[in-house]
Structure 1
Amino acid sequence: MITTSNLTSPTRAPKKPSGTVRLASIDVEWTKNYRIKNGNRPFCYSVVWLDLPASTPAPSDLAHVPFHFTSVYVEDADEQPALVRSAANALRTATNSADLITGHQLCSDLAVLAATADRPQPTIDQARASWKQRNAPAEGDPRYLDTRFDAGHLLTGTSRRLVDVCAELRLDVTQPELRGTSMTALHRRWLTEADTTAREKISVLNLRHSLSTAYVAAHAAGLGHWAPEGLNVNRVLAATTGAWDWLASPTFHTLLGEPCLSATAP
């Protein structure tokens, strides 16, 4: 599997500063086939970590809060069970380290992981149970907050798609990766043609999902905010220098209002 991270030890949680609330955001990408049982197959996931001050007089401005992340992508379809095991380990790490675990319709991601597992995964089963009991978590357990279902107090619109939630809250999550194509097509190009740019586009798309979900969850929990004019999530992603060449491409940098660092990037 291909692991990309800004952590020295990608399988471990970053060191938690004292006096902070830790938020872990998880997002899984999966191919969709509803015509057969367990036809949805995961191939990529990411975890974002945010540490937010617990005792400040006002919520933190998330534009100035650093984040850590780990992204994992299969090299071929046979690695899907290994990806599930890796995701289960990430969930275990989040359970042991985070105060708040979030995702956008996380129940679906967890269900796909559970259905694809080649062996019992108690951590995933426990996460699914904790998600169902998220309004009354057991003492000592992290709280679950699902931004599809638990951020309604911030919204006036009816759509709960992540892109629509972000648009209403003035989070810019423009997705250039999907212009003229689809996630399924990009993933197929990676598997059949070893198209690295296609894989990187999905990895960035997936990390954008995790990061924007983390921001919405922090806002919903009263832990964070951003300026009234909004927050450009792509600008935050661009700061992860060296993670993926796609982030240095001219197409991506048109989203930032800045000159491209590499005029020859794809």
Structure 2
Amino acid sequence: MIITGGLGENLPVAGPVLASIDVEWSKNYRVKNGNVPFCFSIMWFALPAQPVKLTEVTWNYTSLYVEVAEETQDLIRVANKVFGQVLDTATVVTGHQLSSDLATLINAAQQPVPHLHAMRELWHGRRAVRATPLLDTRYDVGHLLTGTSRRLVDVCTELALDVTQPELRNTSMTALHRKWLISGNIEARERITVLNLRHSLSTALVALLSGKHVTAGEVNVNHLLSQHLTGTYAWLNSPTFTDLL
């Protein structure tokens, strides 16, 4: 597997932490459990003691991507381990329609995944207590919005978060992932990885706004990615990406 950002050693070491999760998978709804996860990321944010600007929050990340399709079970095994770390460490957990991400991992698993099941139970019970440790930015941030769409890109746009996705220009995630598996095209893999990280980052920013940990304001999320991931992915230096900055 391709692992960037480490598997937890870059966690904020002091104070409360927000963890933001996003999973990507190849979609096949014609067969039972036909969705196959191939990439996921978690971003860890140190929750500020007082509200700060969106651009001032500090974060680290974990990103995994399969090198070959046969690594699917390895990816799920590591996801179970890292999600267990999230459960043990994070003060707040967030995702955008996280139930679908968890279901995809669980349904594809050929091994016990207790931490994934525990995370799903946390999702289902997130409204049962007043101080829930889990917030889903698709279902739980309506108080911030006036529009009806709950797609992540539309939620972000309404909150002045620019989440333009150049990775999918003239292509699709399925096509890019196939290109990586068949030909080993690194740019294809990096495009999806950056797309996945943008999902995790923008989800976290929405959750931070919901919890009033940050102050609202216009933010170019691609600029935040570029700043934080300098030297990690060649795709970030491509004209297609840098034109957005």
Scaled by the length of structure 2, the TM-score of the pair is 0.96
What does the per-residue CA deviation read over 1:157-201, in whole Å, with 9 as the maximum and x for residues that have no partner?
000000000011110000000000000000000000110000000
The aligned residue for residue 94 of structure 2 is 102
Aligned residue for 2:20, secondary structure, equals: strand
Q: How far off its partner does 1:145 sit? A: 0.3
Q: How far off its partner does 1:64 sit? A: 1.3
Q: Structure 2 matches for 1:69-88, cutoff 5 A? A: 69-88=61-80
1:31 pairs with 1, 26, 30, which one?
26
Contact (CA 8 Å) 1:43, 1:73: kept in 2 or not?
yes
Contact (CA 8 Å) 2:106, 2:116: kept in 1 or not?
yes
Aligned residue for 2:77, secondary structure, equals: helix
Whole-angstrom CA distance in 2 between matches of 1:88 and 1:137: 25
Letter in 1 for 2:201: L
Q: How far off its partner does 1:28 sit? A: 0.1
Letter in 2 for 1:106: L
Two-structure CA RMSD over aligned residues (Å):
1.5
Structure 1: which 5+ residue stretches go unaligned?
Answer: 257-266
The aligned residue for residue 238 of structure 1 is 226
The aligned residue for residue 264 of structure 1 is none
Scaled by the length of structure 1, the TM-score of the pair is 0.88
What does the per-residue CA deviation read over 1:84-115, in whole Å, with 9 as the maximum and x for residues that have no partner?
11111111111111100000000000000001
Runs of 4+ in 1 over 2 A off after TM superposition: 9-13, 136-139
> 1:174 aligned to 2:164?
yes
Whole-angstrom CA distance in 2 between matches of 1:220 and 1:246: 31
Identity of aligned residues (%): 53
What does the per-residue CA deviation read over 1:131-173, in whole Å, with 9 as the maximum and x for residues that have no partner?
000123599xx70100000010000000000000001111000
1:10 pairs with 7, 10, 17, which one?
7
Contact (CA 8 Å) 1:130, 1:137: kept in 2 or not?
no
The aligned residue for residue 209 of structure 1 is 199
Letter in 1 for 2:220: N
The aligned residue for residue 125 of structure 1 is 117
> 1:53 aligned to 2:42?
no
1:183 pairs with 165, 173, 177, which one?
173
Letter in 2 for 1:119: Q
Query: How many pairs were matched up?
Result: 244
The aligned residue for residue 263 of structure 1 is none
1:157 pairs with 147, 150, 162, which one?
147
Structure 2: which 5+ residue stretches go unaligned?
Answer: none
Whole-angstrom CA distance in 2 between matches of 1:61 and 1:10: 27
Contact (CA 8 Å) 1:24, 1:101: kept in 2 or not?
yes
Contact (CA 8 Å) 2:12, 2:60: kept in 1 or not?
no
Q: How far off its partner does 1:216 sit? A: 0.2
Aligned residue for 1:189, secondary structure, equals: helix
Aligned residue for 2:179, secondary structure, equals: helix
> 1:111 aligned to 2:130?
no
Contact (CA 8 Å) 1:13, 1:97: kept in 2 or not?
no
2:81 pairs with 81, 84, 89, which one?
89
Whole-angstrom CA distance in 2 between matches of 1:15 and 1:158: 35
Contact (CA 8 Å) 1:23, 1:101: kept in 2 or not?
yes
Contact (CA 8 Å) 1:13, 1:94: kept in 2 or not?
no
Aligned residue for 2:16, secondary structure, equals: strand
Pick closer, same or farther for the CA change 1:122–1:13 going to 2, 3 Å. farther
Contact (CA 8 Å) 1:2, 1:72: kept in 2 or not?
yes
Aligned residue for 2:170, secondary structure, equals: coil
Whole-angstrom CA distance in 1 between matches of 2:10 and 2:85: 6
